[in-house]
Amino acid sequence: MSSQSAFDRLTAAAIDGRTETIRYRQTQLQSLHGALASPPTAANICRALTQGPSTPAEVEAEYALAMDAVRHAYDGLDVDAELEAEYSVVRGKGNEVRRIGVGMVVVRPTNHARFFSVLAPLAVAVAAGNCVILELGDELPVDTILCEALTKSLDQNTFYVSGGAVTDSSILDSAVLVDQTGNGSASTLTRHLISSSRTRTVAVVDRTANVEAAAKAITRARFGFGGTSPYAPDLVLVNEFVKKPFLEACSRYATVAFASGSEGRGTGGKGGGEEKIQRLVNEAEENKEVTSFGSKGFKVVDILDKNTPLIKQKITGRYLPIATTYSLVDAAFSQEFENPLLAGYFFANPASAKYLSQHLPCHISCINHIPAQLLIGPAAPIAHDPDFLYRYNRDMFSVSRPQFVATRSLPKDALQTVETLLDAESAPASTRRFGKRSPAPTIQKVRALAMRPLKPTGQVKSMHKTDFFLSGLLIGGGAMLGVVVPVLGWSTWVLGRGLVGYVARLKRNQ
């Protein structure tokens, strides 16, 4: 089957709206889940995944989360609710929140957590009512199994596996592209779902943090899955007061983890990214910019000079760069970070964590934990609202197409009055004179309605009209008069009384 004929079939299916029927979408997800949940296929998938950098436990976690993504997409399809909304216009009601699928979705998955990275967008795209093209070669052992299972379980008129990148402009111009391999920074809203895989993730450990818990979470995130997760911390900023115990805890947790059997597992072949990081670490050590310790399986890197290029790198592999901070302000403002960062992990008491998450621009902020499910799968599209659990949601694969009916009641006051005024203006003179219509508002009434003052803010009026700095002076002066002056008066009275008594005793003694 040629790619062009497959594209033509999918385009025809998107045009005739075959995927819009909720029963069709339910059937497709049922078939998909059934094929992947069969014991032989599940065993083959997990066996193929173990040939990568993940441990057996990490493989099982990836398989479970991927299947949960399919289940979540299926459970979100409510037949009664969708049919009620679809026929609401027939009953004279509006369907203001109506959304339909974009039509065509192209999925370009990343190598990290390949199974989850394919299933997460695929299931949601099908649930939203789209035709899907999946770019899937044979780079990884799981690719062949996935290609066979998906091709057999999904309708070939609405789903196609492309052996290479889709370059057909007639497809890409109208489709939503899910590109999990993107290295650019998605700084503006776009209809495409681009993963900014080179955007960094930062962790901050404050002096108020639980150091043991922070070290355990950070080392698990950085060294797990071969160090390939885009959500693994690329830089850890640690307060100087807790840096020594934090380094000791990181070394201890990493040593125990690798001694238990994971040290022998590589990262699935050192790519250019990991070789670059290793070269930067070696150069920084030669220049006395960092010191490192660990084993052949992992490295904890203590950054001594914050001008080292290593501090601004997206880390690939099992390297954990750690830098010193001296305060919350130093942690938030001493470095030039991307805006936004892919994620921020803040280990601190609630007040300090609030300050850090408020002033460090992060697409996702996590307080005192690093969720395990966040480490599995691609980087979320930064230009869209994050889906914390599943990366993608139906809104990303659909467009708003609201339906309004004429009988819909308008909001009170301005809109309703303007509607009545314009309606009366455009009515024939005979209708305005003899028709049974409610009295039309006058232009003066509409003008008065438009000029109504806003609700008060609730601020004290005297301060509301006072200059900001003058307000500070007045508050400071009030504090002075209310506290300092009474204290000075009382002290003066005590000293004066003591002085009078002393003078009286001197006179008596004379």
Tokens at 304, concatenated: 């001594």
The pTM for the full model equals 0.83
Arithmetic mean of pLDDT, 259-265:
54
* Domain spans of the chain, in order of start: 3-196+394-400, 201-375, 414-450
CA 435/CA 427 separation, integer angstroms: 10
Confidence band of 475 (pLDDT split at 50, 70, 90): confident
Report the percentage of the chain scoring pLDDT > 90: 61
Extract the tokens encoding 87. Answer: 């026929």
Tell me, what's the pLDDT at 458? 81
Coil, helix or strand at residue 12: helix
Give the integer Cα–Cα distance in Å for 425 and 298.
78
CATH of domain 3-196+394-400: 3.40.605.10
Assign 271 a pLDDT band (cuts: 50, 70, 90).
low
More confident residue, 409 or 63: 63
Higher pLDDT, 255 or 158: 158
Dihedrals phi, psi of 322, to nearest 5 degrees: -130, 125
Looking at residue 3, what is its pLDDT?
Answer: 86
Region 90-106: mean pLDDT is: 91
Q: Tell me if 35 sits within 8 A of 149, measured CB to CB.
A: yes
Give the percent of the chain with pLDDT over 70. Answer: 85
Q: CA-to-CA distance for 122 and 378, rounded, in angstroms? A: 13
In the numeric block, which tokens belong to residue 11? 């385009």
DSSP classification of residue 482: I
Distance separating alpha carbons of residues 54 and 268, to the nearest angstrom: 9
291 has which bridge partners?
A: 302
Q: How many angstroms separate the CA atoms of 73 and 252, rounded?
A: 40
Buried b vs exposed e over 119-136: b needs ≥16 C-beta within 10 Å? bbbbbbbbbbbbbbbbbb
The stretch 157-175 carries a mean pLDDT of 93
Query: Integer distance in angstroms from the first to the last C-alpha of the chain?
Result: 126
Residues 6+ apart with CB under 8 A from 11: 104, 131, 170, 171
pLDDT for the residue numbered 467:
60
* Distance from the Cα of residue 231 to its chain's centroid: 11
Report whether pLDDT(159) > 90: yes
Q: Cα separation of 87 and 424, whole Å?
A: 32
What pLDDT shows up at residue 140? 94
CA distance linking residue 294 with residue 378, whole number of Å:
28
> pLDDT at position 269, please?
45
How does residue 209 score in pLDDT terms, banded at 50, 70 and 90?
very high
What is the pLDDT, as a whole number, of residue 91? 87
Q: Model confidence over 401-426: pLDDT tens digits?
A: 898 887 555 556 667 777 777 777 66
**Which architecture does CATH list for 201-375?**
3-Layer(aba) Sandwich (3.40)
Average pLDDT of span 255-270: 60
Helix, strand, or coil (residue 373): helix
The Cα 330–Cα 236 span in angstroms is: 13
The pLDDT of residue 263 is above 70: no
Burial of 472 (0-12, 13-18, 19+ CB in 10 A): exposed
Q: Name the β-bridge partners of 237.
A: 204, 323
Instruction: State how far the Cα of 224 lies from the Cα of 220, in Å rounded to an integer.
Output: 5
Query: What are the tens digits of pLDDT across the range 421-457?
Result: 777 766 555 555 445 555 667 788 888 888 888 888 8
Find out whether 26 and 78 touch, Cβ atoms under 8 Å. Answer: no
- Mean pLDDT for the chain? 87
Reading the block at residue 49, the tokens are 């995944």
